């Protein structure tokens, strides 16, 4: 097993991308130091470690930085011993990568567009896109789980579980702000049951940083503050 000396995660508590990196490390049973970043006043360490994008997460292992959450997850899976995060079968591994990319390329932009929308019409359009994307993830779960496994990754969480699971606390924030359930028992029963199992896993319950739904709610409200100020003048 590779050593984890100096293993450090530069992150932000409300970032789902940071959360998935930390859950991947938890899955491998690897300890790490978590360093919260202030993105309005980025540290020299962050700027030095990720000079291209200047974003979190960054995993620093023995002084060497690795950037981008999906890249970091695959690095962690290949480097550390223990249960695999990605499937070992080539076809299943390719399928997992496809659905993880789909979550980031389709679900994430739709969801983020919804929370930052400045008009009811724009938000309604993004809500439709978000719910359409989550329906595709429902179908994906049925196929990946074979209809009887607890998770996308089988009997324990894997790559797609971590990627989609990292959004769950933001989905709860959306429910509180807009009274909209992105995953619910009526429209996505398989994912609704999956989500309950996921949040009960050790990897999710013991993750650092702890996902803060209240902070996510505040972030959503701040996105609309400029528009609210203009409309009140």
pLDDT per residue as tens digits for the range 71-101: 999 999 999 999 999 999 999 999 999 999 9
233 falls in which pLDDT band (50, 70, 90)? very low
CA dist., res. 136 & res. 6, Å (int): 40
Instruction: Quick: pLDDT tens for 210-224.
Output: 999 999 999 999 987
Question: CB neighbours (10 Å) of residue 40?
Answer: 5
Instruction: Quick: pLDDT tens for 110-128.
Output: 999 999 998 999 999 999 9
Q: Do 26 and 203 form a contact (C-beta atoms < 8 A)?
A: yes
Q: What is the crossing angle of helices 69-79 and 16-28, to 10°?
A: 10
The reported pLDDT for the residue numbered 226 is 54
Question: CB neighbours (10 Å) of residue 135?
Answer: 13
pLDDT above 50 for 1: no
The reported pLDDT for the residue numbered 109 is 97
DSSP code of 66? Answer: E
pLDDT above 70 for 48: yes
The reported pLDDT for the residue numbered 147 is 79
146 falls in which pLDDT band (50, 70, 90)? confident
DSSP code of 105? Answer: I
The reported pLDDT for the residue numbered 4 is 52
Q: Indicate the fold that domain 90-220 takes in CATH.
A: Glutathione S-transferase Yfyf (Class Pi); Chain A, domain 2 (1.20.1050)
Residues of the chain with CATH 1.20.1050.10: 90-220
Q: Is 171 exposed, middle or buried (0-12, 13-18, 19+ CB in 10 A)?
A: buried
Residues of the chain with CATH 3.40.30.10: 8-79
Query: Contacts from 177-183 at CB under 8 Å and sequence distance 24+?
Result: 177/115, 177/217, 177/220, 177/221, 178/114, 178/123, 180/127, 182/111, 182/130, 182/131, 182/134, 183/134
CATH architecture for segment(s) 8-79? 3-Layer(aba) Sandwich (3.40)
The reported pLDDT for the residue numbered 225 is 67
* Secondary structure element (H or E) that encloses residue 77, with its range: helix 69-79
The reported pLDDT for the residue numbered 229 is 37
Half-sphere exposure of 221 (CA within 13 A, CB side): 10
DSSP 111-156: HHHHHH-SSHHHHHHHHHHHHHHHHHHHHHHHHHHTTT-SBTTBSS
- Whether the model clears a pTM of 0.75, i.e. scores above it, the answer is yes
């Amino acid at each position: 097993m590779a050593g984890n000396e100096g293993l450090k995660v530069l992150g932000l508590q409300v970032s789902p991308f940071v959360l998935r990196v930390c859950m991947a490390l938890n899955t491998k049973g690897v300890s790490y130091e978590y360093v919260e970043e202030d993105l309005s006043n980025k540290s020299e360490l962050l700027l030095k470690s990720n000079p291209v994008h200047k974003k979190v997460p960054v995993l620093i292992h023995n002084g060497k930085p690795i950037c981008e959450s999906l890249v970091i997850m695959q690095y962690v899976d290949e480097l550390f011993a223990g249960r695999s995060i990605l499937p070992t079968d080539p076809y299943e591994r390719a399928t997992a990568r496809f659905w993880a990319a789909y979550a980031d390329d389709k679900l994430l932009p739709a969801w983020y567009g919804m929370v930052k929308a400045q008009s009811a019409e724009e938000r309604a359009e993004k809500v439709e896109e978000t719910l359409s994307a989550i329906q595709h993830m429902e179908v994906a779960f049925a196929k990946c789980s074979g209809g009887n496994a607890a998770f996308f990754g089988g009997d324990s969480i894997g790559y797609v579980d971590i990627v989609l699971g990292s959004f769950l606390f933001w989905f709860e924030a959306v429910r509180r702000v807009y009274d909209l359930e992105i995953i619910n028992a009526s429209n996505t029963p398989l994912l609704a049951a999956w989500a309950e199992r996921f949040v009960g896993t050790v990897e999710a319950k013991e993750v650092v940083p702890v996902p803060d739904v209240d902070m996510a709610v505040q972030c959503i409200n701040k996105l609309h503050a400029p528009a609210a100020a203009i409309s009140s003048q």
